[in-house]
Amino acid sequence: MELRIGEKIAQYRKAKGFTQEQLGELVGVSGQAVSKWENGGVPDTYLLPVISKVLNVSIDALFDIERNITDYTQDEMLDMLFEFCLHKSSYNKDDFDMFPYLFEIIWTLQSAFFGVETRQPLREVIEKNSGNPQITSQIINDRGTTYLTLIENFPFFCAVMDTPHISTRLLSEEKFSEFFSLLASEDGLKAILFTQQSEKSGQYTAETMAKNIGISVESFLKIEPLLVKYGLLHEDSLSLDDKIITVYHKWSNPEIRPLLIMAYQFINARQCYYNFTCNRTKPYF
């Protein structure tokens, strides 16, 4: 046990990104004392609560006393996940890419829900199904819906928690037909996609806007009110040669991308499931 606690202190110290001197300063001892612990020594008993607090682990963890998974509360497990992600993002920025890790977490939760005995890394599932156009992991029940794609070239995850308020809000919206008419128009869709391009930012007149979109000025002026209304273009006035000229600024909206992704899923609907469950007993609306 004496040797083990030194190993655990070293493990958690490195995870925190502390040097021996930094940990010693936080605990109130010298760096040499920390080095002694990590090489087989044992901290004084009165220091254990301080070490535990600084390293943000339990005293049981320092002594490597195992706990069953059922011994942990949900909050404790989430706290451990939070701490791990915090350490990875704070001290190992070069090798920590949040989005692949996030998808691994989602996949782990999904696959565990289906009773998989051992965790199969998401990258292995993606490699195994590389030739498929669409492979998904989906859970549907009365509490909500999840949807995770398992192919490399089209990764996305969607989760909707079901509440009566969602249906009420969606069914009370009166502007759906107006907004979708903009998407349904070929010129409107071209204009929306142009507003989401990062290059060529700046001010545009109606003529230059129409030219960049690839439509006529008349067509642009027809859809311009909706582009402004929904915040895809910002309208401004510019005084030039005693004339007031209307100019526009593009405005990117990240919600456009998931909206088009879900539309794509409708258009290219395929029943290709890696794992799937549906025990929903009530309608969606």
Are 173 and 284 found together in one domain?
A: yes
Are 176 and 272 found together in one domain?
A: yes
Per the document, the length of the chain is: 285
Bigger pLDDT: 121 or 270?
121
- Under the banding of pLDDT at 50, 70 and 90, the label for residue 160 is very high
Are 163 and 257 found together in one domain?
A: yes
Query: pLDDT tens, 45-61?
Result: 899 999 988 988 888 88
Are 54 and 165 found together in one domain?
A: no
Rounded alpha-carbon distances, angstroms, from residue 48 to 33, 72, 114, 118: 13, 21, 41, 35
Strands laid side by side in the 144-149 sheet: 157-161, 144-149, 136-141, 273-278
Are 162 and 33 found together in one domain?
A: no
At 94 the pLDDT is 62
What percent of the chain has pLDDT above 70? 93
Kindly report the backbone phi and psi dihedral angles of residue 278, in degrees, each rounded to the nearest multiple of 5, phi listed first.
Answer: -145, 105
In a domain, 74, yes or no: no
> Per mean pLDDT, which range of 45-49, 60-64, 88-92, 211-215 is the poorest?
88-92
Residue 2 has pLDDT above 60, yes or no: no
Are 261 and 166 found together in one domain?
A: yes
Beta bridge partner(s), residue 122:
none
Q: What is the mean pLDDT of residues 87-99?
A: 69
Q: Among 12, 40, 65, give the residue marking a domain's end.
A: 65
Are 139 and 44 found together in one domain?
A: no
At 4 the pLDDT is 78
At 207 the pLDDT is 95
Q: Token pair for residue 31?
A: 């760096």
Domain span holding position 18: 2-65
Query: pLDDT tens, 98-149?
Result: 888 899 999 999 999 998 888 889 989 998 888 887 889 999 999 999 999 9
Q: pTM of the entire structure?
A: 0.70
At 93 the pLDDT is 58
Contact 146, 112 (CB under 8 A): no
Q: CATH number of the domain at 34, please.
A: 1.10.260.40
Residue 164 has pLDDT above 90, yes or no: no
Bigger pLDDT: 269 or 21?
21
Q: Among 31, 65, 99, give the residue marking a domain's end.
A: 65
Are 139 and 264 found together in one domain?
A: yes
At 1 the pLDDT is 42
Q: CATH number of the domain at 182, please.
A: 1.10.10.10
Burial (CB < 10 A; 0-12, 13-18, 19+), residue 212, is middle
In a domain, 78, yes or no: no
In a domain, 72, yes or no: no
**Residue 185 to residue 178: CA distance in whole angstroms:** 11
Q: What is the mean pLDDT of residues 232-248?
A: 86
Residue 18 has pLDDT above 70, yes or no: yes
Are 278 and 139 found together in one domain?
A: yes
Are 173 and 266 found together in one domain?
A: yes
Residue 240 has pLDDT above 80, yes or no: no
Are 282 and 191 found together in one domain?
A: yes
In a domain, 82, yes or no: no
In a domain, 37, yes or no: yes
Residue 254 has pLDDT above 80, yes or no: yes
Q: Among 40, 65, 90, give the residue marking a domain's end.
A: 65
Burial (CB < 10 A; 0-12, 13-18, 19+), residue 248, is buried
Q: How many domains does the chain have?
A: 2
For residue 246, the SS3 value is strand
In a domain, 283, yes or no: yes
Are 183 and 277 found together in one domain?
A: yes
Bigger pLDDT: 170 or 95?
170
Torsion angle, alpha carbons of 85, 87, 88, 92, to 10: 170
Query: Which of 39-48, 125-134, 222-231, 245-254 tops mean pLDDT?
Result: 222-231
In a domain, 111, yes or no: no
> Per mean pLDDT, which range of 147-151, 183-187, 197-201 is the poorest?
197-201
In a domain, 105, yes or no: no
